[in-house]
Amino acid sequence: MIVIPAGEFWMGSPESEEGRGSDERRRRVKINRPFAIGQYAVTFNEYDRFCAEGCRTKPEDENWGRGNRPVINISWLDALYYTEWLSSQTGQTYRLPSEAEWEYAARAGTQTAFWWGNSINPDQANYGGNHMKIVLVDQFRPNPWGLYQVLGNVWEWTCSQYDVNSNGVEKLYSDRDTSGPLSARGGAWFGGSAWVRSATRTGFSPAFSNNNLGFVSPILIVPLFFSFTLLPPFSAFQLNLVLL
């Protein structure tokens, strides 16, 4: 896992950004505590070990291969069960990242449309149907904080409710009774360039799954307490999560 430092950043996108969605309201967010997050999306190798213990049914791989490729056909509930299993196996408390945590880690200190700049080509990410399927999780170079394929390949589930008119206050979920929709970030192998920007958002029902949905390795708060604060010009608020 990679430890992400505390800090602050501009979440969302400026109105001038090409491909910008109406749900990408820009605001200043502060991450008050460091956290650890997986360097790659959860792979078939990792998820299949979880399934082998009878926890869930192995998802289909569309005949694209398993191994070190990101697991696909994963619902939010599947990802939740995996985090619970991982917590029980390790004695640590893991969960999916919030949208703020995900975007902060994906940007890695950058403010451009993509972490490498404002343009994209097939040598930088798996998008736009260039490969017509998922690829190995380490096929492209990592972002400045060492995270691989945060943009493209598969959408990654978060623990945040998806609100198209979000005012910056995130509602976070970690129980099985959630009705959703839940946010997914990062874009996937089939989407065009506008869909793999750092600020791109979408949402799905917690029971929904398909061949472009996976999830990043769950996060571990360091220490097991997290808070983030919305900075001016918006009204300040603080959200605290104690991970027991």
Q: The whole model's pTM is what?
A: 0.89
Residue 69 located in a structural domain = yes
Overall domain count for the chain: 1
| pLDDT-based confidence at residue 240 (cuts at 50, 70, 90) | very low
Residue 117 located in a structural domain = yes
| pLDDT-based confidence at residue 94 (cuts at 50, 70, 90) | very high
> Contact 170/98 with Cβ under 8 angstroms?
yes
> Contact 33/221 with Cβ under 8 angstroms?
yes
Average pLDDT over residues 113-117: 99
pLDDT of residue 152: 98
Residue 30 located in a structural domain = no
pLDDT of residue 221: 62
Task: Please state whether 114 falls in left (phi above 0), alpha (psi between -120 and 50) or beta.
Answer: beta
CATH for 84: 3.90.1580.10
Distances (CA, A) of 47 to 3, 57, 160, 176, 221: 22, 10, 22, 19, 22
Indicate the range of 7-16, 82-91, 109-118 predicted with least confidence: 82-91
Average pLDDT over residues 63-87: 96
Residue 26 located in a structural domain = no
Average pLDDT over residues 126-142: 97
**Between 222 and 131, whose confidence is greater?**
131
| pLDDT-based confidence at residue 225 (cuts at 50, 70, 90) | very low
Beta bridge partners of 43: 70
Residue 27 located in a structural domain = no
pLDDT of residue 86: 93
**Between 93 and 11, whose confidence is greater?**
11
Residue 73 located in a structural domain = yes
Q: Where in the sequence is the domain holding 205, given as residue range(s)?
A: 1-15+35-244
Residue 157 located in a structural domain = yes
Residue 180 located in a structural domain = yes
pLDDT of residue 222: 60
